[in-house]
Amino acid sequence: MLSVLGGSLAAPTIVRAQDTSPITIGGMLPLSGPGAIEGRQVLKGLEFAVKEANEKGGALGRQIKLVLEDDESNSTKGVTAVRRLIEREKVPFIVGTYPTAVVMAAMKVAAEYKVPMLSGGSTGAGATDANTPGDPWFFRCWPDSNAQGRDTADAILKRFNGTRIGIIHDTTNYGVTLADQVTKLITSGGGNVLTRDSFTLGEQDFSSMLTRLRGLKPDVLYVAGWAGDGANIVRQAYETGLRVQFIGSGSMQSDDFIRLAGPAAEGFAVATQFEPTTPNAFGRAFGERFKAAHKEEANSLNALGFDSTNIGIEALRRAGKPDGLAIQGMLKTGMKDFKIVQGPDGQTAAFDEKGSVNYPFFIAIVKNGRRTL
Amino acid sequence: VDIFLQYLANGIIIGSTYVLVAVGLTLIFGILGVVNFAHGEFYMLGAYVGVMAVMFLGVPLFVALIVVLGFSALLGLGAEAVLHRPMRERDATSSIIASFGLAVALQNAALLAFGPQPILLRTELANISVELGPVFLPFQRVLIPIVMAVLIGLLYVVLRYTWIGWSLRAMSQHPTVARLCGVRTSRVAIVTFMAGSALAGVAGFLMSSVFMVHPLIGSMIVLKAFTVVILGGMGSVTGAALAGLLLGITESMTSGYLANGLRDIVGFVFVIAALLFRPQGLFGRAIERS
């Protein structure tokens, strides 16, 4: 009895003496170079989740500090960034990063150090497929690019009644994977893929390609790539006189896309897992808090950054210690009741054995300069 | 045929920007022997300065063009002081490496000052379009080859008929003899850099309403410009002008008739072929140097 009393009396003092310093968590995103638009949007979600967690007292009685690394969408820099976060900053988990190719290089290193990663926007199926089933170290709280492609192909065929379809994609892993998959699904679903064109990341002039496409008279054009390039294509198509239903890949969910494409963005469709008007009540509440803090509407990149960080922090709380292995264990099975802001109402962070969460995407259409569901 | 003309027009427009950037590059190389990898950054900064002048100071386009010209000329002045003057007596690799350094510094300066977000100049010209028979073009695109032709014509006249032009050409033929004949070579170097930089800056400004502006656009265009310079013959202004248009048209035809993914490959295949079979460039003369 005495020893129990002594233990319970002594324990809190030890904990307090031990550590009141903040727990550092890692964030790794492209903050410059290609992908920086997307990276900076995701970052707002990370920062917002950390801020809210700290206002509620942090985790394990300690404040949370976010340490950032810029991977510049470059695999080599990504690997260095992960090493630096783990070795120098001793982070128990990392939220990152946006490009799937960089994730695939970085996740191997993180797994060796037994530090889990939560996606900072990477949607490519390659990343979660590279996990050992049942023992994932990379977690993505939304469906992979295959699911995104499936829901997009569905929309092309059923919602827009596309029969003559054109596909434009960039030459990154993301663009090629999506284009391959959509091509396959459309062909098997009875649509006709008239043409496939590729472009280099950051290419500026699409006028001749779009002129040729205009001659082919497609009824739907699918663009797989990053927001800046997508906006350039949609705008130049408008200038070329190509009037067609455009549908884009997930990275074109940002408001920057609409701003850059201007009036040409009207009618543009995109598969999305979050909108401020989402039927997901937890998501709508997040959207309102975010808007109050930032004076702008939350977008899906903000939302996914928020979810990944929020899940990581909660897993850290539930694990009871800032330890990578314990957090990974909690992420694998212990988060099935934890609500996320993306996806349909009541969606939770129920990771499957590959580290993915599965739910259907919404299809949003731009009307009067805003995406509407 | 209609669609062929449309591709041709697109090619001429994109080729015109290559010309503006490449001519400055070839001028600096031909006269001073400096291989300037920072040339793309002159293009990028010209674009930013123009966009800032229009968007934040609200000046009309024509005034912005003058602002861009002035700023770019100053930039050229600075670049000469960094890349040419201190390196004059050393071998060419010093200035090449220095120009790489300058490119990285300018790119990161732009990143810090303007951020990574692409921006776009919106003008009232965006809604005007021009139809020339079967060819349909937005007016702001039509402006590009026109401005290019005016500037290159002006450069040609200056090189051919003015005292400055004579000094420049004398210097490119033989710096020592030019100096002996009373050409002030240090002034020529400054003028060359200012002219080259101004041409690139104007090109950047012209494109800022058509394409997007971000800190990395310079490193992309400079590769094209080098392609053009090698094709046209290092140091040949006429060669660069013709090769620039040729590259633009070839790229446009490639993405029009073949596939867009091939367009960059075609340009570089041309360069390799040119280096193999005509190392002096398509329009260059082979010269024996004593």
Q: How much is the pLDDT for A52?
A: 95
pLDDT per residue as tens digits for the range A212-242: 888 888 999 999 988 888 999 999 898 888 8
Residues from chain A that touch B141, judged by Cβ atoms under 8 A, are 239
Sign of CA dihedral B141, B249, A233, A296: negative
Average predicted confidence (pLDDT) for chain B? 85
Average predicted confidence (pLDDT) for chain A? 89
| Helix or strand (DSSP H, E) at A308 | helix A300-319
Q: How much is the pLDDT for A10?
A: 47
CB contact under 8 A, B253 and A208: yes
Percent of chain A surpassing pLDDT 90: 55
Residues from chain B that touch A296, judged by Cβ atoms under 8 A, are none
> CA A253, CA A233: separation in Å to the nearest integer?
15
Closest residue, chain B, to A231 (C-alpha): B212
> Which one-letter DSSP state was computed for residue A361?
P
B212-244: b (≥16 Cβ within 10 Å) or e: bbbbbbbbbbbebbbbbbbbbbbbbbebbbbbb
Residues from chain B that touch A207, judged by Cβ atoms under 8 A, are 10, 13-14, 252
Give the mean pLDDT of A174-190: 89
Q: How much is the pLDDT for A7?
A: 45
Contact status, residue B253 vs residue A208, Cβ threshold 8 Å: yes
Give the mean pLDDT of A71-99: 93
Min Cα–Cα distance to chain A from B58, Å? 20
ipTM of the complex: 0.80
pLDDT per residue as tens digits for the range B101-156: 999 999 989 988 888 778 888 777 767 777 777 777 888 888 889 989 999 999 88
pLDDT per residue as tens digits for the range A279-323: 999 999 999 999 999 998 898 899 999 999 999 999 999 999 999
pLDDT per residue as tens digits for the range A25-78: 999 999 887 788 789 999 999 999 999 999 999 999 999 999 999 998 899 999
Contact status, residue A192 vs residue A220, Cβ threshold 8 Å: no
Q: How much is the pLDDT for A349?
A: 94
Q: How much is the pLDDT for B266?
A: 83
Q: How much is the pLDDT for A332?
A: 93
| pLDDT tier at A8, thresholds 50, 70, 90 | very low
A71 to A308, B1, B111: CA distances (angstroms): 18, 48, 15
pLDDT per residue as tens digits for the range B180-220: 888 887 888 888 899 999 999 999 998 888 888 888 888 88
Which residue of B260, B264, B265, B266 is the best one to mutate when testing the A interface, meaning the one whose CB has the most A CBs within 10 A? Answer: B260
| Comparison of pLDDT for B290 and A343, the residue scoring more | A343
| Helix or strand (DSSP H, E) at B21 | helix B2-32
pLDDT per residue as tens digits for the range B77-99: 999 888 888 887 787 788 888 89
Min Cα–Cα distance to chain B from A51, Å? 24
Q: Which of A198, A202, A204 sits opposite B260 (nearest CB)?
A: A198
**Interface list for chain A against chain B, based on CB atoms closer than 8 Å:** 31-34, 36-37, 40, 168, 171, 197-200, 202, 204-209, 211-212, 215, 228, 231-232, 239-241, 256, 260, 262
Residues from chain A that touch B214, judged by Cβ atoms under 8 A, are 228
CA-derived radius of gyration, chain A: 22
CB contact under 8 A, A239 and B138: yes
Residues from chain A that touch B129, judged by Cβ atoms under 8 A, are 239
Q: How much is the pLDDT for A370?
A: 85
Residues from chain B that touch A231, judged by Cβ atoms under 8 A, are 212
Closest residue, chain B, to A199 (C-alpha): B261
Residues from chain A that touch B116, judged by Cβ atoms under 8 A, are 31-33, 36-37, 40
pLDDT surpassing 80 at residue A1: no
**Interface list for chain B against chain A, based on CB atoms closer than 8 Å:** 3, 6-7, 10-11, 13-14, 111, 116-118, 120, 122, 129, 136, 138, 141, 207, 211-212, 214-217, 220, 251-253, 255-257, 259-261, 264
pLDDT surpassing 60 at residue A2: no
Percent of chain B surpassing pLDDT 90: 25
Min Cα–Cα distance to chain A from B279, Å? 28
Give the mean pLDDT of A205-216: 88
CB contact under 8 A, B216 and A33: yes
Which residue of A199, A205, A236 is the best one to mutate when testing the B interface, meaning the one whose CB has the most B CBs within 10 A? Answer: A205
Residues from chain B that touch A262, judged by Cβ atoms under 8 A, are 120, 122
Q: Which of A199, A202, A208 sits opposite B261 (nearest CB)?
A: A199
> CA A314, CA A136: separation in Å to the nearest integer?
18
pLDDT per residue as tens digits for the range A315-372: 999 999 999 999 999 999 999 999 999 999 999 999 999 999 999 988 899 988 888 8
Q: How much is the pLDDT for A4?
A: 46
Min Cα–Cα distance to chain A from B56, Å? 18
| pLDDT tier at B70, thresholds 50, 70, 90 | very high
> CA B181, CA B108: separation in Å to the nearest integer?
42
Q: How much is the pLDDT for A323?
A: 93
CB contact under 8 A, B122 and A207: no
CB contact under 8 A, B256 and A211: yes
Min Cα–Cα distance to chain A from B180, Å? 47
Q: At what angle do helices B185-207 and B139-161 cross, to 10 degrees?
A: 170
> CA B138, CA B132: separation in Å to the nearest integer?
11
